[in-house]
Amino acid sequence: MTASSLRILLMVCLLACAAPRAFALECIVPAKPGGGMDVTCKMLRKVLQSDAGSEPVKLSYLPGGIGAVAWSSVVSKRRGGPDTLVAFSGGSLLNLAQGKYGKASVDDVRWVAGVGIDYGMIAVRSDAPWHNLRELLQAIRKDPGKTTVGLSGTVGSQDWLKMAMIVGRAGIDPRQFRFVALEGGGDSFAALQAGHVQVISGDASEVAHFIAEGRVRILAVLSEQRLPGPLQVVPTAREQGYDVVWPIIRGFYMSPHVPEAEYRRWVGFFDKAMADPAFERQRSASGLFPFAMTGKPLTDYIAQTVAQYRKQSQELGLVR
């Protein structure tokens, strides 16, 4: 058995110790296939694949309300249990801050693990006439109705905010840019390829497949510095004169009705798994960047982030 196979086998055995029903593990993707939430669950599944090719993680797609349907289902006991994890992102936290999950609170679920950081990006088709943000923004300024931006959610969503902040830095009223609200990154890329939209505001982890096929041109990544790997050649928005940075945490939460012992087992599993170099390699292959936080530290981080998002949203007049 190779060293790599042995590591994978040890991780699967570790999961079996962490949760008695490991091989019935369900990872809920609160969106349609193809977006960042999908990437998060698929990364976990790949990490836990045995060298025999078995897949101990079942993916279940539960789109609706950019995570609201999945959240409600888990909180209300309609879905979830000690063998169910739900993917979340920074967009989930923003929606929570803006009240888009109803009267939901950070304390309504159990936050298990933050497993990586993603970054926002702006993309067009590879045959688009724009090669940088300046050219795109000039076109929007000249004729706002001619260029349609595809994004997940509607006014106030993180994809909307990314674009609104960029056009704002260019001196354009954010209310002028034309957009289409879609359900997740998968829908956004499908709409772009079909020509229904000319631009998408999305996440860097979503683009690897499309870049490899030469179907997408990334105009900017919304990170502090250029990202390593396939996106290294893509300039940041800051480099192009638009000071917009948008990091996106990705991870998992559980039902609040899960027994404490089961929750602690999952926290312990992720603590050990994320310390293994094999996890880092899989995270990198999934287009995510280092971030590892679990249990109470993660819960505190989530609470602080939601409070920050709520304050920013109030300043923009998006919530009272």
Residue pair 208/53 in contact by the 8 Å Cβ criterion: no
Over the stretch 31-69, which tens digit does the pLDDT of each residue have? 888 888 999 999 999 888 744 455 578 999 999 887 899
Please tell me the distance from the alpha carbon of residue 27 to that of residue 38, in angstroms, as a whole number: 9
Map 30-95 to HEC letters: CCCCCCHHHHHHHHHHHHHCCCCCCCCEEEEECCCHHHHHHHHHHHCCCCCCCCEEEEEEHHHHHH
Find the DSSP H helices in the chain.
3-18, 36-48, 68-75, 90-97, 133-142, 158-169, 185-194, 208-212, 260-273, 277-285, 295-315
Please, what are the domains in the chain?
A: 3-118+248-315 (3.40.190.150), 120-231 (3.40.190.10)
Residue pLDDT, tens place only, 130-163: 999 999 999 999 998 899 999 987 888 889 999 9
Q: Which two structure tokens, joined as six digits, stand for 70?
A: 């999945």
pTM of the model: 0.80
**Of 4, 24, 23, which Cα lies nearest the Cα of 13?**
23
Residue 214's pLDDT is: 81
Output phi, psi for 122, to 5 deg: -120, 130
- With beta carbons less than 8 A apart as the criterion, state whether 208 and 38 touch: no
Query: Residue 113's pLDDT is what?
Result: 98
* First-residue to last-residue Cα distance in the chain: 59
Segments in the chain below pLDDT 50: 1-10, 12-23, 50-52
Tell me, what's the pLDDT at 215?
86
138 φ, ψ (degrees, to nearest 5): -65, -40
The pLDDT score that the predictor gives to residue 51 is: 40
Contacts of 273 (CB under 8 A, 6+ apart): 11, 14, 47, 279
pLDDT of residue 55: 58
- Measured CA angle at 71 (ends 69, 72), to 5 deg: 65
